[in-house]
Amino acid sequence: MGGTAAAGPGVALLSLLHLSDAHVMDSVSPARCEWIELLAHDPYWAGLLHMHRPYEALTHWALAAHVERLRRHPLAPWSQRAYDMALCTGDNIDNAQANELQAFVSILGGGRTALSAHGGVHEPGLELGEGAWPFWCPEAGVPDLWKPKGYPVVPGFVARSSAEVHSAGLGFAWASVPGNHDVMRQGTALPNPAIEALAVGGRKALAGPAGFRPIDPQALYVQQPEQFSTGVSRPIAASAQRRAVDLCEWMAAHRQAGAMGFGPSHVTEGRADTFIDTEHVRLILLDTNHPAGDYQGSIGAAQIAWLEARLAEVEQQPGRIAVLASHHGSVSLVNTLGADPERLQGQALTEAVHRHPCVVAWLVGHRHLHRVTPHPHPDARGRGFWEITTASIMDWPAQTRAVEILRHTDGQLEIVCTLQDHHAEAGSLAALHAELALRFAGSAAPYMQGAAHDGNVRLLLPP
């Protein structure tokens, strides 16, 4: 791996737009616990962060801005070849809700959607006393704890962010893998009757229960998330559209909106592992969500067997290559909750991939940062694959990544990665989202952006 690129542009085998972790969000959902973010200074709650961002009512506007730009500029930047497809590596939505899912597929596939911010934490009240409001209130004249930190006054923020988004859609093929937030409450808790009744109901918690300090808050949230919403609350408009969606409904909605990869059997069987064949490349999509819950992932032994069978098919066709995609990457496949011997971790998947030299790249999300990680083969010098982690649209730097795979005349393969901004107009809600995301990231912004070798890079593999 590595070396010097061959002269000339090479022949493009695949032009793909990688986006991840849009977290399209119903920011008013009673199934959310924004109050935990106010305790971010206490390491005791670290396992449940982040539960709130000041800009979370704008995530679908940022996604729509990316989609609009891609529709106007559908050519990959290096080869100037039309994108074969866009690939979403999960956490398309934030809280596994039907209204969030409808919003996401309407933006990608084309349509109109709205997610109301009325009744959420941006609108202060007297429920928490008469002091400064603990959440960011964008209106002038309302004291809060965020404006002194530099968060701006934005008149009419709630009404503007609640307006309808009109999207013409990408205009080219797209596909997706599920992330933990797509099928779990807050990406952590499996739905249960108590949290479901709370989610569609008419009260929203603004603070935790008095004296609430469970022995293991993360473990409790996985099993009983409703326990975190019994403190001071306010009335809101109830909505049946805040019901949870399962994997079958999630895939069905993507399929109906035109996403590739999921056939009728995937929807009926609840199986999201699939593959998409282009002329030169097989793209293999894996579901790495852990069946017992919690935010980190795992991989099933049966999934690895299925993967190796699909890779063996690729190797029967000389010159074809494979690209993997999943939500969780190698360092995030560490979930052992439930002690199921059939659930394996990242090393098992990496070892399986090394048995198949046709794999050149593994595209992942989940970590909300840009990283490019080489996985050299432990025994074969020069062989291996590249793991490419793309940051979230939700958080800073709110970018996507063009991934272009080229073959040079000497047989050398090259993967060209180019980060993409949405370039939304100043004053737009998408531009405000980016501004607030950078402010919230603070000193962590450079870490999330990654080093030079994590961004615009040319990655090489031998013939």
Examine the pLDDT at 5 and tell me if it is beyond 90.
no
Predicted local distance difference test score (pLDDT) of residue 140:
95
Predicted local distance difference test score (pLDDT) of residue 159:
98
| SS3 state of residue 283 | strand
Rounded distance between C-alpha atoms, residue 418 and residue 73, angstroms: 14
Nearest to 434 by CA among 59, 122, 117: 59
**CB atoms closer than 10 angstroms to residue 161:** 28
Mean pLDDT of 384-412: 97
Predicted local distance difference test score (pLDDT) of residue 3:
62
Rounded distance between C-alpha atoms, residue 229 and residue 347, angstroms: 38
pLDDT mean across residues, the chain: 96
Q: Are 35 and 231 in contact (CB under 8 A)?
A: yes
pLDDT band, residue 382 (cuts 50/70/90): confident
pLDDT band, residue 9 (cuts 50/70/90): confident
Predicted local distance difference test score (pLDDT) of residue 49:
87
Alpha helices in 73-164 (DSSP H): 98-109, 157-161
pLDDT band, residue 462 (cuts 50/70/90): confident
- In percent, how much of the chain has pLDDT > 90? 94
Structural domain boundaries of the chain? 11-116+162-461
Q: pLDDT for 327-338, tens place per residue? A: 999 999 999 999
For the structural domain made of 11-116+162-461, what CATH number should be given? Answer: 3.60.21.10
- In percent, how much of the chain has pLDDT > 70? 98
Q: pLDDT for 153-203, tens place per residue? A: 999 999 999 999 999 999 999 999 999 999 999 999 999 999 999 999 999
The packing angle between helices 59-72 and 98-109, to 10°, is 20
Q: pLDDT for 232-289, tens place per residue? A: 999 999 999 999 999 999 999 999 999 999 999 999 999 999 999 999 999 999 999 9
Written as one letter, the residue type at 124 is P
Predicted local distance difference test score (pLDDT) of residue 380:
75
The bridge status of strand 384-389 relative to strand 400-407 is unpaired
User: What is this structure's pTM?
Assistant: 0.97
Nearest to 392 by CA among 86, 23, 106, 77: 23
Predicted local distance difference test score (pLDDT) of residue 8:
66
Rounded distance between C-alpha atoms, residue 212 and residue 228, angstroms: 8
Q: pLDDT for 288-328, tens place per residue? A: 999 999 999 999 999 999 999 999 999 999 999 999 999 99
Q: What is the per-residue burial (b if ≥16 Cβ within 10 Å, else e) of 245-271?
A: bebbbbbbbbbebebbbbeeebbeeeb
Cis previous bond, 446, omega within 30: no
Distance, CA of 413 to chain centre = 28
Predicted local distance difference test score (pLDDT) of residue 6:
63
Q: What is the per-residue burial (b if ≥16 Cβ within 10 Å, else e) of 5-23?
A: ebeeebebbbbbbbbbbbb
Rounded distance between C-alpha atoms, residue 38 and residue 50, angstroms: 10
Cis previous bond, 41, omega within 30: no
Q: pLDDT for 139-156, tens place per residue? A: 999 999 999 999 999 999
Q: pLDDT for 31-77, tens place per residue? A: 999 999 999 999 999 989 889 999 999 999 999 999 999 999 999 99
pLDDT band, residue 29 (cuts 50/70/90): very high
Examine the pLDDT at 4 and tell me if it is beyond 70.
no
